């Protein structure tokens, strides 16, 4: 048996198949990504199975949608793979659980209806996450569909961190800091705690990619994070602004900007893309070499350094720093610059190991005399979602067995 983990986005669908052995979730045997699901896109499915990589275009039949074609493609792929394990459940990454869902849940109509009320809090992600669940429920009606939340890992944050300085009536309505990238942080933390005793201490984790955030954890629990009420807060990102003086929005409103214009600006036209005017891709900016590209890189790096310092202050010190995400895992120059600026903490980077880290499963890059351990850990949100689903199913079976007894 196996758990199928799914991450449905606006223009892509990521999936991975995780076998179960003695009730434990194993690393994926199949992983894939379908790109080009946006309107007028050209869907292309790429996947790796048992170490071999493949790619093929997907045909969208008349009257169908790209997403439906993607779903059919995944189903057909699994059916034709030799020795592929049977699927026991589908685990879905869902960005926002609000203050209602602080642990993974079995999806019902009522759950879907409630989750849809959070669409405006994560407009780039939540509607597509939920559409993925609806499509998979229709295609696999016999399988449990389980929602696993990015916000759940941050349910341990104290009120002093998650509350805004607004009237309490607004907090009672759900206007508060939630935090995101929780499945990623849950995986990073599990790896750290397996590899080093420092993982049980004061840790800052940096999930740096097109979406970017930091998380401070103490004894394995989230105590502070840079993202807040929405996935706009905190660090500068690929196309998102990060933290912004609310007065800027008041000014834009005064100038006649509409809600739609401001939403487009903050979510799709800011960040690395907005500052550089070139690209949201850090790799392209590194290769560009222009003044505008360097300005965007410097600003991104500065925000990581500044927010890390704030989280270290919340923790009262630092035992370990972990980099993950597309930029965090692959950009050795950024890791070097961040660690240089944080050298006052006793951080010392091993230059050679830092260059070697790309492509490693989990790699320590600190020098022997570093007071803080530094790790590069490729994240695996799908495996965490699969673990959550397996644990939920096992708990349900235990309850049913007890009721029968």
Binding residues for Mg(2+): 7, 381
Residues of the binding site for substrate:
93
The C-alpha atoms of residue 161 and residue 217 are separated, in whole angstroms, by 13
DSSP strand pairing (212-218 vs 105-106): unpaired
- Which residue shows structure tokens 């800091």? 177
- How many angstroms separate the Cα of 86 from the Cα of each of 106, 165, 177, 291? 19, 50, 39, 53
What is the Cβ-side half-sphere exposure of residue 317, based on CA atoms within 13 angstroms? 7
Residues belonging to the active site: 150
Q: Is 60 helix (H, G, I), strand (E, B) or coil?
A: coil
Binding-site positions read 7, 14, 93, 207-211, 281-283, 326-330, 381
Q: How far apart are CA 94 and CA 86, in angstroms?
A: 23
Contacts of 38 (CB under 8 A, 6+ apart): 10, 11, 66
3-state secondary structure 82-130: CCCCCEEEEEEEECCCCCCCCCCEECCHHHHHHHHCCHHHCCCCHHHHH
Provide the token pair at 240. 């998102």
Numbered residues of the known binding site for ATP = 14, 207-211, 281-283, 326-330
């Amino acid at each position: 048996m196996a758990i199928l983990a799914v991450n449905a986005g606006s223009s892509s669908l990521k999936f991975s198949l995780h076998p179960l052995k003695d009730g434990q979730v194993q690393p994926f045997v199949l992983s894939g990504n379908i790109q080009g699901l946006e309107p007028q896109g050209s869907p292309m499915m790429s996947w790796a199975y048992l170490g071999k990589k493949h790619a093929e275009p997907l045909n969208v039949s008349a009257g169908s949608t790209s997403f439906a074609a993607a779903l059919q493609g995944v189903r057909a792929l699994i059916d034709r793979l030799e020795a592929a394990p049977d699927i026991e459940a589908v685990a879905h990454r869902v960005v926002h659980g609000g203050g209602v869902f602080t642990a993974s849940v079995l999806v019902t109509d009522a759950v879907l209806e409630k989750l849809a009320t959070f669409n405006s809090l994560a407009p780039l992600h939540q509607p597509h996450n939920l559409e993925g669940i609806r499509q998979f429920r229709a295609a696999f009606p016999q399988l449990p569909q389980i929602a696993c939340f990015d916000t759940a890992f941050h349910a341990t944050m104290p009120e002093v961190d998650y509350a805004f300085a607004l009237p309490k009536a607004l907090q009672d309505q759900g206007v508060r800091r939630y935090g995101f990238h929780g499945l990623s942080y849950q995986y990073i933390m599990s790896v750290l705690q397996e590899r080093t005793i420092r993982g049980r201490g004061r840790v800052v984790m940096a999930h740096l990619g097109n979406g970017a955030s930091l998380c401070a954890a103490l004894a394995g629990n989230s105590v502070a994070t840079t993202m807040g009420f929405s996935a706009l807060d905190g660090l500068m990102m690929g196309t998102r602004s990060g933290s912004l003086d609310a007065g800027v929005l008041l000014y834009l409103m005064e100038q006649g900007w509409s809600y739609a214009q401001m939403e487009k600006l903050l979510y799709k036209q800011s960040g690395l893309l907005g500052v550089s005017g070139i690209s949201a891709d850090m790799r392209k900016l590194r290769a560009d070499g222009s003044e505008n590209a360097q300005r965007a890189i410097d600003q991104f790096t500065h925000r990581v350094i500044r927010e890390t310092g704030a989280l270290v202050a919340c923790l009262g010190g630092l035992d370990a720093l972990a980099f993950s995400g597309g930029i965090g895992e692959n950009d050795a120059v950024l890791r070097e610059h961040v660690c240089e600026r944080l050298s006052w903490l006793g951080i010392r980077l091993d230059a050679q190991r830092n260059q070697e880290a790309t492509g490693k499963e989990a790699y320590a890059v600190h020098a022997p005399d570093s007071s803080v351990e530094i790790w590069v850990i490729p994240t695996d949100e799908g495996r965490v979602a699969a673990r959550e689903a397996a644990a939920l199913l096992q708990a349900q079976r235990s309850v049913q067995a007890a009721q029968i007894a």
